[in-house]
Amino acid sequence: MFKNLLRNTDYILLIATIILVIIGVIGIYSAGYGEVDGSNTEYQKQLIWFGIVFAIEIFLWAVDTRALELLGYAIYAVSFVLLIVVLAMPSIFGAHSWILIQGFSYQPSELMKIGYILCSAKVMAMYLENKESPKPDKKKNLILLCIIAALFVLPVFLIILQPDFGTALVYLMIAAFMVYKLGLKYRYIVAAVVIAVILIPTVYNFLPAHAKTRIDVFLNPELDPLGDGYNAIQSKIAVGSGQLLGTGLLKGSQTQYDYLPVQSSDFIFSVISEELGFFASCGVVVVYLVMLLRILKASRDAKDSFTALIAVGIAGMFAFHFIENIGMTIGLLPITGVPLPFVSYGGSNLLTSGFAIGIILNISSRKNDTRMFR
């Protein structure tokens, strides 16, 4: 059994994640290199976190797939409680998103993504099983659909209360990927998109002031170049100054003189673009695309609907983080504070990303000839 797991393990995916971590540690080291008080320890913490995360990945790869169901229930329940607790925590960057205990910080909305994916995948698989049976129970399907909706609404509602709209959008992307995999007819998807577009002006009017400002500044950063538009402007300067080959490691003016805000986390891609250049940035994008394609392959080759839905939900999670983070650093999308998986500094997101990859390695190493959702 163990030999079969080793033979079927997706080493391409594993190598891709390690490459991203290495690039991230280099960027984080450079981002803190100019600290004159000797406080450049973030890259060391990131390495320690990765050691812990890698051990978790190996554990999740080795456990029986059926254990993922129980794991999902446990993560969802604990994270839901913590999402309530975090609302009483001090505000950081205008949001109550972090639990702070004696120097330790944790963002419950991160690992909740894994709990949400695992629990939703199980209920959706039950829905498909009942729907495709010779005599579908319509009442049961209605109940299952209500549970699917509740699993999404409960955590997203608490996350919006923080408020953390960027993370809430991650859940929306995950749900969209999973619902699409569930077999939703195209006319419903088109209708949902049309309704969303129509509602955009209405939703904008009900947004809090800081959210409206972010959208306004995204459309025109020069409205407030020294305030809310500062981050976007400095990030684009950093990306552009890197040109093809970069300014050189530890030689980027935007990075080394701290013009870039939160440069080790939210704007780590700007650091990489400035000091390593366009080709290195494209390399990061290629590695992410490879990672996403391997996750989607795991979904296609999965042995059952439960694991197939898990994989596609994880693909949705990574896709949003990848597109939104890089998009905001180059001025194509509003700034939301969504980190770049495996590259940005931060234990909470690295832990969630590691959980996700460990689960995908588990799924891909246990594929068989029964392929779902071809």
Query: Hey, which residues does 95 pair with through a beta bridge?
Result: 92
User: Which amino acid makes up residue 101?
Assistant: I
Question: How far is it, in rounded angstroms, from Cα 374 to Cα 370?
Answer: 10
Q: Report, as an integer, the average pLDDT of 183-207.
A: 74
Q: Is residue 372 part of a domain?
A: no
pLDDT tens digits for range 351-366: 999 999 999 999 998 8
Winning range, highest mean pLDDT, from 63-72, 129-138, 279-288: 279-288
3-state helix, strand, coil in the chain (%, to 5): 70, 0, 25
Bond from prior residue into 163 cis (ω within 30 degrees of 0): yes
Predicted local distance difference test score (pLDDT) of residue 39: 59
Predicted local distance difference test score (pLDDT) of residue 374: 35
Helix (H) or strand (E) holding 101: strand 99-101
Confidence of residue 126 (pLDDT cuts 50, 70, 90): very high
Nearest to 161 by CA among 225, 208, 111: 208
Given a contact cutoff of 8 angstroms between Cβ atoms, the answer to whether 24 and 345 are in contact is: yes
Q: Is residue 373 part of a domain?
A: no
C-alpha distances (whole Å) from 274 to each of 42, 59, 85, 182, 328 are 20, 37, 39, 41, 15
Question: How far is it, in rounded angstroms, from Cα 364 to Cα 303?
Answer: 9
Mean pLDDT is lowest, of 33-42, 114-123, 239-248, 264-273, for 33-42
User: Which amino acid makes up residue 7?
Assistant: R
Is the pLDDT score of 38 beyond 70? no
Predicted local distance difference test score (pLDDT) of residue 372: 35
Is the pLDDT score of 145 beyond 60? yes
Q: Which residue has better confidence, 178 or 197?
A: 178
In three-state secondary structure terms, 36 is coil
* Other Cβ atoms within 10 Å of 164 Cβ, number: 23
Predicted local distance difference test score (pLDDT) of residue 132: 82
Q: Mean pLDDT, the chain, as a whole number? A: 87
Q: Is residue 374 part of a domain?
A: no
Is the pLDDT score of 201 beyond 70? yes
Plot region of 246 (φ>0 → left; ψ -120 to 50 → alpha; else → beta): left
Q: Is residue 323 part of a domain?
A: yes
C-alpha distances (whole Å) from 294 to each of 92, 241, 281, 357 are 36, 33, 20, 11
Confidence of residue 245 (pLDDT cuts 50, 70, 90): very high
Predicted local distance difference test score (pLDDT) of residue 34: 67
Q: Is residue 207 part of a domain?
A: yes
Is the pLDDT score of 246 beyond 80? yes
**Token pair for 123:** 């209920």
Query: Hey, which residues does 105 pair with through a beta bridge?
Result: 100
Q: Report, as an integer, the average pLDDT of 190-195.
A: 78
Q: Is residue 91 part of a domain?
A: yes
Residues 6 or more apart whose CB falls under 8 angstroms from that of 217 comprise 223, 224, 228, 229, 232, 335
> What is this structure's pTM?
0.91
Q: Report, as an integer, the average pLDDT of 84-108.
A: 85
Residues 6 or more apart whose CB falls under 8 angstroms from that of 88 comprise 96
Query: What is the total count of domains within the chain?
Result: 1
C-alpha distances (whole Å) from 16 to each of 173, 293, 322 are 22, 11, 14
Is the pLDDT score of 239 beyond 90? yes
Q: Is residue 286 part of a domain?
A: yes
**Token pair for 273:** 């673009």
Range of the domain at 145: 2-365
C-alpha distances (whole Å) from 83 to each of 17, 79, 117, 194, 341 are 28, 6, 16, 32, 21
Predicted local distance difference test score (pLDDT) of residue 83: 95
Confidence of residue 1 (pLDDT cuts 50, 70, 90): low
Confidence of residue 37 (pLDDT cuts 50, 70, 90): low
Q: Is residue 355 part of a domain?
A: yes
Question: How far is it, in rounded angstroms, from Cα 358 to Cα 55?
Answer: 9
